[in-house]
Amino acid sequence: MQCLTCKTTSLEPKEIEPGLLVAACPQCGGALVSLMNYRFWLDQHQGVAEAELLPELDVPGEQPGERDCPKCRQVMKKFQMGLNSSHKIDLCESCDEAWLDKGEWQLLKQLDLHGKLPRIFTQAWQNNIREARREALQEDRYEKMLGVEDFMHVSSFRQWLYRHPRKEEIKQYLMIAPE
């Protein structure tokens, strides 16, 4: 199998964690991870799923365009890694194998996602990321519109309101009460 990034370098077996074998590129540092092997490794190493403190990472930017699976040549699908990362992981849904670019395994560990790799590829995970980003954009928009201080007051009131057992009555009152 040839590397997805280098195109001409052969992938070689490498252990990225004790007991977790991947097909890695010795030139660019990318790795093809069998999710079947990953699940087996995770079952055997439950304690490994704890995050470690890692030094600041220098992870290259996202590789543009589509990539073909080095095993079956099917187009791999990109999945958003997490809310706090713009990185995407390529997955061959046919082979159930994920491609990690150089540094992405360490990034998964830093974000405490290395014990959740298969979840990243679910529709629910991707929807949660999109929804959280949409909410963050909306909050930014209102903060700019209202100003920081007023937005903090409104946001605090909103949190109180949505926890209140009689929130519907309070919202009704706010809508009809004269100024």
pLDDT digits (tens, 9 = 90+) for 102-160: 999 999 999 989 999 999 999 999 999 999 999 999 999 999 999 999 999 999 999 99
CB 105 within 8 A of CB 31: yes
Both tokens assigned to 159: 């949190």
What DSSP state is assigned to residue 31?
A: E
pLDDT digits (tens, 9 = 90+) for 18-27: 999 999 999 9
Q: Above pLDDT 70, what percent of the chain? A: 89
Residue 86's pLDDT is 85
CB 78 within 8 A of CB 89: yes
**What pTM was computed for the model?**
0.74
Confidence of residue 82 (pLDDT cuts 50, 70, 90): confident
Give exposure, 130-149, as e/b (b: 16+ Cβ within 10 Å). Answer: eeeeeeeeeeeeebeeeeee
* Residues 6+ positions from 106 with CB-CB distance below 8 Å: 54, 57, 59
Whole-angstrom CA distances from 98 to 10, 24, 45 are 17, 12, 20
Residue 55's pLDDT is 46
- Give me the mean pLDDT over the 95-108 stretch: 94
